[in-house]
Amino acid sequence: MRVNLEARAATGENRRAQTRAKLVDAAARVIADKGREATSIEDIVAEAGVARGTFYNYFPTVDELLDALNTRMAQAVDAAMAPIRAEITDPPSLLAATLHRFMVALTADPVGGWLALRMEGSVAPRQLIFERRFDALFQEGVRIGRFRQGNRDAARSLLFGAFRMAQRDVMLGQTSPDHVVELVALLLMAFGVTPEEARDISRKAAAEAEDQRHYHPVM
C-alpha cells in the first residue's frame, strides 16, 4: 500500500500550526485579563482547551510564548497601517493618522488593548518595527522642513512614552473624548508644527480613524 507522505506531513504541520495558534490566542486572552505575572501555564492550557503537557510541545517557557505573541501583535498592527502609509505622504499627518488608528484599534479590541498594557515590563515596551517606522517618518519630516531639527532619541522617548501613558489613561476610562486629539496635537507641536495646524491635523486624523473603527480588527 502506498502512502502519501507529503499529504501526511502537510496535515501534521497544519495541525501543529493550529494548536500553536490556539495556545497563543489563549495566552493573549488570559494575560489581557489577569496580567502576565498572575498567568500560569495551567490558565493558558485551560483556556486553549489542550492538555498541560501540550504546552511544552510548543514553548519551553511562558516567556517564549510571549515573544511569539508580541511579534505577532506588532506585525499585525504594522500591516494594518500599510494602507495609510501608502496614502498619506505628509509626515505630521501620517504620524497623527497612525497614532489615532492605533488607539482606536486598541480600544476596539479589549483583548489586544489590555494585552499591550499588561505586557509592560515583561517584554520590550517598544517594538523595533515601530521605532524604525518612526525614525524614518521623523527624518523625512525634518528633511522637508515639516518637523524642527532635533535629537531623534529624545523625540522617540517623548512619542512612545506619551502614547503608552495615554493608552493607559484611555483604557482606564479616565479621559475626556478629546484627550487623544490633544495629546497627538501636543506631540506635533513638540516636533515643530504650529499649534493651529497641529490641532487641525489631529482632529481630522481622529475623525477618520473613528470611521474605520469597525472595519479593521488588528489583533
Partner DNA sequence: AATGAATGAGGCTTCATTCAT
Partner DNA sequence: GATGAATGAAGCCTCATTCAT
Residues that bind DNA (CB under 7 A): 3, 8, 11-12, 15-16, 18-19, 38, 40-42, 50-58, 60-62
Kindly give, in sequence order, each residue whose CB lies less than 8 Å from that of residue 101, ignoring residues fewer than 6 positions away. 80, 81, 84, 205, 209, 212, 216
Q: From the list a copy of itself, DNA, none, which binds 144 (C-beta under 5 to 8 Å, kind-based)?
A: none
- How far is residue 175's CA from residue 43's CA, in Å, rounded to a whole number? 32
Nearer to DNA, 3 or 172 (CB): 3
DSSP conformation letters of 49-108: TS-HHHHHTT-SSHHHHHHHHHHHHHHHHHHHTHHHHHH--SHHHHHHHHHHHHHHHHHH
Q: Does 176 bind a copy of itself (CB under 8 A)?
A: yes
* Region 18-37 residues binding a copy of itself, contact defined as CB under 8 A: 35, 37
- How far is residue 79's CA from residue 109's CA, in Å, rounded to a whole number? 16
Looking at residue 145, the DSSP 8-state letter turns out to be T
Looking at residue 193, the DSSP 8-state letter turns out to be -
Tell me the window of 40-48, 49-57, 160-168, 207-215 that interacts with a copy of itself (CB under 8 A).
160-168
Tell me the window of 59-67, 84-92, 135-143, 166-174 that interacts with a copy of itself (CB under 8 A).
166-174
Q: Does 60 bind a copy of itself (CB under 8 A)?
A: no
Q: Contact positions toward a copy of itself, by CB under 8 A? A: 35, 37, 120-121, 125, 148, 150-151, 153-155, 157-158, 160-166, 168-169, 174-176, 178-180, 182-183, 185-187, 189-192, 195
